[in-house]
Structure 1
Amino acid sequence: MSQGAFVKRQFGHRARLVLPYAEVLKADEQAHAARTMWNCLHAWWQMMPKGKRTLANADAAIRQARNDVDFLAVLPAQAAQAVLKTYYQAWKNCWDGRADAPNFKGRFRSVMSVDIPQGRDLQIKRVHRRWGQVNIPYLGRVRFRWTRSLPIGKHANADNRITGARLVKDHLGWHIAFRVMTLESAPSPHEGPEVGIDAGVNLPLALSDGNHIDHGRPARLQDGQADRDKWLNPDEKAKLLRLERQAAERKQHCKPGQRTSRRLHHTYDQIRGLRAKATRRHQDWQHKTTTALAQQYGTVVVEALTITNMVKSAKGTIEEPGKNVAQKSGLNRSISQEAWGRTVTMLAYKTARYGGALHKVPAPNTSLRCSACGFITPGSREDQATFICKNPDCDFEANADWNAAQNILHLYRMGHALIPAAGRAVVRRARHVKPPTAR
């Protein structure tokens, strides 16, 4: 939304909380209560007739549950309302075909989080250069790490303010993610060149101008298996392998239905810590890389990939078993680890911030078509790293990822860019319908 020469911008800022052990237990109780509230709401939704599945009835059920169950009463009322709004929005996304239907949340597989929808309840105050204080409902005043300026005090107004926050727990502990709305001057149009980007596994980002970007870590091991832990150094990989073997050995001693031992949970926590460290390193690389791309190029073109379909299992059925299941499983892990969707999301808001634009083009045949002659000939991609056109009149040979990036940019210049919606290029199509093919 623009107002003259200014534009409203919404972003999030995450900071680490410093909580005593007693406050950590209270925050854990609130997170478990929020997850239980979601599961109770989902069970209520499934039991009620369709005519009575309304927000008013769900709100009344939530209020009654908080009055009857002491465990749910530890969750603030505003946080309980946020659970209801999030659940209802999940169903709207399902009805619009943007996501699958919501389901129950598991204790160990779901992220522990508590929403604080009212920004005025936070009462943020900066203590000194490195620390700040924030008021959290049912927890009181707690400290957090101050790493960037926030619109508080005399700097806060209707256009520059904190609209809310969310408490999130990971292996490092509890963090608070502020939702910030600011009014900034609109950026001038970016005069940089156009570039097509092809996301891959062996080469993370291949650019159409040849300035390929690599994270300096091998995508595959020598035996052909995907390296899931490429963001860890050799010592950390050895430690992770030892912990995984230790966890497998201790799990053998757990009988079905028996409660998991504390030693096994401690081993799982150590494994989770190493995985989280690798994720943080990858996200740091993604942020730095996408920022550099947004500053250098005015128009960025990427493929409209349906990643969920690309990482489906190849096991098949009993009647029709799949082929090359192990190789497909390794490829799926590599695709998931590269997090292409997160890279595109970062490029979308960073290009807009620097005055550029992100466009998406249809993905089919971008890696099979020759960028020199435009024909698709069988056998051109016999080698994953090299593209050799089999057209007798062409004989074009180049890097396979660079060839795909050239095709992506060419589709945009020919007018095949998908229609952007709400400031970002997305693909809207009905569920269970094949994506359109490129001509």
Structure 2
Amino acid sequence: MKKKFKRIFMIVTDSLGIGDDGRQEEFSDSGADTLFHVSQSGLLEIPTWKKLGITEITKVFNHNQKNKDHIAYMGRIIEKSNAKDTLAGHWEMMGIETQVPNPQFIENGFPAELIEKLEKAFDGRKIIGNRNASGTVILSELGDQEIKNGHIIVYTSPDSTLQICGHEKYTGLDNLYRYAKAAREICSSRPEWNVARIIARPYVGENGEFTRTFNRHDYANKPPKDTILNKLQEKGIKTIAVGKINDIFVGQGIDKVFPPASDNENMDVAIELASQKTENEFIFVNLVEFDSHYGHRRNLEGYAHNINSFDIKLAKLINAMNEDDLLIMTSDHGNDPSFPGSNHTREALPLTIYSKSFTGKNRNLGILKGLGTTGNIIARNFDLDLIDTGEDIFDKLI
């Protein structure tokens, strides 16, 4: 089969959900709608995404004028996995459905037996923290104590994670990464401890004034089977991971890595790659700050400003793309900054598909079952076997 597009760019706006997916009550998330509630701030300016067609598939406050001539194919995706986390969302895109969510330790922290094993692996350092917390808050509370006494901060978040804080000067990055790898091995040894991600959280600063750095590393569970990424590699299609993608897939099926940075910087990488005269590439980008900086921290205004910045970068990416490039945009879960608590929210997810070559008129895709719908576009384009975590809509893209 002749390839329709020479390159595919896939952007994941991490946590940018668009409301009810029919299962919100099951996840105690009734009423969550990340994009709409962010738009109620009155700060949203999204001319590029409106032109593409976002208002055709969801409510956006003060942006309700319909755009029947929108230039992208638009749909609402209902996630198949029984989860609402980063790993489940991204894995579903590439062909893995999460039927049993990984364990969480939000209520009581990690069990004593696990903590004991971790302390031994952490060179005998005493673990402090061990609760569900905001990373910046627990760092402010315990950072000085960690440095002064040689302790180590371990905490969890409203997700399946075990997070380890270490000062880049006093703990050292090498030690922090070594501890995180050991924690991954320990947690993976028992199903009841097997969190989706171990996160090494380095920071700098002195005297209670601490800042987390972009030297963070996620040690995720290894995908249980090959994904679209592995199949692309086997076909000789270059896979390029930007942001958290390499960590999420534990390097499986990845040819080139651009490590985590700010959302603006990660979009700049995508824009630079689009401006190059290449082909046979899949560029997979995660924009984590929507989730980490604004969703979990319940910063509604910050979330709005980040969408605005993204919209500007999105216009630049589209301008840089070639006629035979394809852009796919979606999200992995919701994280409504107006919702109680600091957890992810179960929501429908936006799908935006654009190419300068599109000539078709009917661009409303309706409701689609499974994030693997995105993976199947990639599979059809590069002549791979379809995956069962989504629909096949490739023939609609004309």
* TM-score normalized by the length of structure 2: 0.24
Higher RCO (C-alpha 8 Å, min separation 6):
2
Structure (1 or 2) with the greater helix fraction: 1
